[in-house]
Amino acid sequence: MKILIYSFEPFNVLKNNPAYEIAKEVHGLFKSKNVGLIKLPTTYGGWAIVTSSQP
């Protein structure tokens, strides 16, 4: 399974994006349920769009 994070943060910096840590936590949710997209608010006031796809 791949988890793709589309970030709309300033400068598009994923390594400092708190949504990345949240996405790691929701990996189990993607595996256990039929979830295709999660929109996560970030501390910067932006959004991170997280999608999953089977390999």
Task: Check if the beta carbon of residue 37 is closer than 8 Å to that of residue 49.
Answer: yes
- At 12 the pLDDT is 47
For the record, the structure tokens of 50 come out as 């997280």
d(CA 42, CA 14): 11
- At 8 the pLDDT is 47
| Non-local CB neighbours of 7 within 8 Å, separated by 6+ positions | 13, 14, 17, 19, 46, 48, 49
Prediction pTM value: 0.30
d(CA 19, CA 32): 20
* Mean pLDDT, 10 residues at a time, the chain of 55 residues: 52 55 65 64 64 58
